Amino acid sequence: ATRQMSWGFKKSFKQTAKKNILIAVLDGGIDIEHPDLRPFVYINTKDCFEGNIIPPKDTQDLDNNGYKGDCKGWDFTTKSNRAEDEEGHGTHVAGIIASILKNYSQSIKLLPLKVFAAGEGKKPIKDLPSLSKRLNSAIEYSILQKVDIIHLSAGWPKSYMSRQLEATIKKAQKLGIQFVTASGNSSQRSMVYPCQLEDVLCVGALRPNGDVARFSNWGGQVDVYAPGEKILSTIPVSYTHLRAHETDS
């Protein structure tokens, strides 16, 4: 973004939070071992080995919440305790959040919740639960973990919006959880969910010069626009290793 685009960042961060903040990132997973993200990853110490090590799948459920070994988030696509990022989007999103909050890793944490499978929409994926079920389960889990914010850099059409999912979103809102979601990338009036729902903070994208991005949805459901093009952020460390190997070969 250009320098003239002021978002009140300095003013906002002169204030002190009254409590620790937990942000659930519903996406395609996060590279939890990335050096820039590791300090921000929420650790459920009750279900970790030695306080911070992810145990093997199905070995323990010491907090009795129904999710075995949920030490550092959960993968709702495979129902496992490793929300690993295979495509990079979730890590990129987490990096943006972490870069803004870089001095607040002690009081603000990110909870990785994988709801989108790698290659989804491009190829059939065996035994993949429906998207509405995955989203519903992830929001229920967020409620269970008493998160403060649910960040969802995605949207879906009305056909994916089940009554149960809408009820779960409203349940979370009644408990004080703030949803922050994307307006969508189809360059039209934003009709996606959950942006359509009341009290959901719906965010559109701006170009570096301050114009609305060509791909961004628009309309009355969009509450605010923020920089959304040419954003430098984190990528999974495995990507850098892969590229280095390709260069060597």
Q: What is the pTM of this model?
A: 0.91
| Backbone φ, ψ for residue 204 (5° rounding) | -95, 175
Helix or strand holding residue 98 (H, E): helix 89-100
Q: pLDDT 10s digit of each residue in the chain, 249 long? A: 455 556 666 666 677 778 899 999 999 999 999 999 999 999 999 999 998 999 998 788 999 999 999 999 999 999 999 999 999 999 999 999 998 888 888 999 999 999 999 988 788 888 899 999 999 999 999 999 999 999 999 988 888 889 999 999 999 999 999 999 999 888 888 688 999 999 999 999 998 888 899 999 988 889 999 888 888 899 998 877 655 445 454
Cα-trace Rg, the chain: 18
Angle at 110 between CA 51 and CA 157, to 5 degrees: 135
Longest dimension (CA), the chain: 55
